[in-house]
């Protein structure tokens, strides 16, 4: 058993072994028998097995072939196991899922989270590294406020449910983790004229977060800024709504 865990540690994997935390995940998900649950990175099935007892179907996507081979002979019949890279896999091929419950592989936290936003579901209960989770829910003006904060705010309601000690994992990661709840918004919290332009602008601005808005606009878009809103502010002080309004102003001038 020890050699197996050591090998997985070399792949950057950390398995949740604290059953109390697993019970928390199940409870926070408010599972019903009719639910179809998507799980990314089932590992050795610590979460998969209790999920399968509470819902109609579990769809588990695992990239590690050795773990797939371990799981496929041990899983309940209502678990659909897929050997694939979840970041690259087309979720449209899957049965419709109502909830997502996962102890995510931390190295894919950002791409898989934003991928979730492209699909319809009721709720997600997800494990993230503490630093990442705190950036997801950070407020303007805080040290953790980032492009991630803005992107998450635009798409979903997000909150940290509880902090999880690194002692709950084997092998033990370097930092603590968080259980996070995500509920998709029915409507965006503000309107942007062009979705792709808005998020590209957010990336550009946070790449230069210590510079004033007028400096970044002049460098990136080469337009006059004398009457641009928030021109003397820095992006890290602006609310997502203010950034959205600024995006619309700039888009109107360059389209």
Give dist(CA 224, CA 150) in Å, integer: 25
Break the chain into its structural domains and give their ranges.
Answer: 2-184, 195-254
Q: Does domain 2-184 have CATH number 3.30.70.1230?
A: no
Cβ 200 vs Cβ 216: under 8 Å: no
What pTM was computed for the model? Answer: 0.93
Task: Please count the helices (runs of H) and the strands (runs of E) in the chain.
Answer: 10, 9
Full pLDDT tens readout for the chain, 255 residues: 334 444 444 445 789 999 999 999 999 999 999 999 999 999 999 999 999 999 999 999 999 999 999 999 899 999 999 999 999 999 999 999 999 999 999 999 999 999 999 999 999 999 999 999 999 999 999 999 999 999 999 999 999 999 999 999 999 999 999 999 999 999 999 999 999 999 999 999 999 999 999 999 999 999 999 999 999 999 999 999 999 999 999 999 997
Token pair for residue 78? 């209502």
């Amino acid at each position: 058993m020890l050699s197996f865990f050591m090998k997985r540690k070399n792949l950057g994997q950390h398995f949740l072994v604290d059953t109390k935390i697993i019970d928390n995940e199940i409870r926070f998900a408010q599972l019903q028998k009719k639910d179809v649950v998507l799980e990314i990175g089932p590992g050795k099935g610590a979460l998969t097995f209790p999920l399968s007892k509470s819902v109609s179907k579990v769809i588990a996507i695992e990239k590690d072939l050795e773990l797939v081979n371990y799981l496929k002979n041990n899983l309940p019949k209502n678990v659909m196991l897929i050997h694939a890279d979840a970041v690259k896999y087309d979720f449209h091929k899957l049965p419709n899922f109502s909830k997502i419950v996962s102890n995510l592989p931390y190295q894919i936290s950002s791409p898989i989270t934003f991928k979730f936003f492209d699909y319809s579901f009721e709720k997600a209960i997800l494990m993230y590294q503490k630093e990442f989770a705190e950036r997801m829910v950070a407020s303007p003006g805080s040290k953790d406020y980032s492009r991630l904060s803005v992107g998450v705010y635009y798409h979903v309601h997000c909150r940290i449910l509880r902090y999880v000690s690194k002692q709950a994992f084997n092998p033990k990661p370097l930092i603590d983790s968080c259980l996070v709840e995500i509920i998709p918004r029915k409507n965006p919290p503000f309107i942007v004229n062009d979705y792709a332009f808005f998020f590209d602008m957010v990336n550009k601005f946070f790449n230069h977060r210590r510079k004033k808005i007028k400096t970044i606009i002049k460098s990136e878009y080469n337009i006059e800024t004398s009457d641009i809103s928030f021109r003397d502010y820095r992006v890290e002080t602006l609310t997502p709504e203010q950034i959205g309004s600024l995006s619309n102003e700039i888009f109107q001038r360059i389209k």
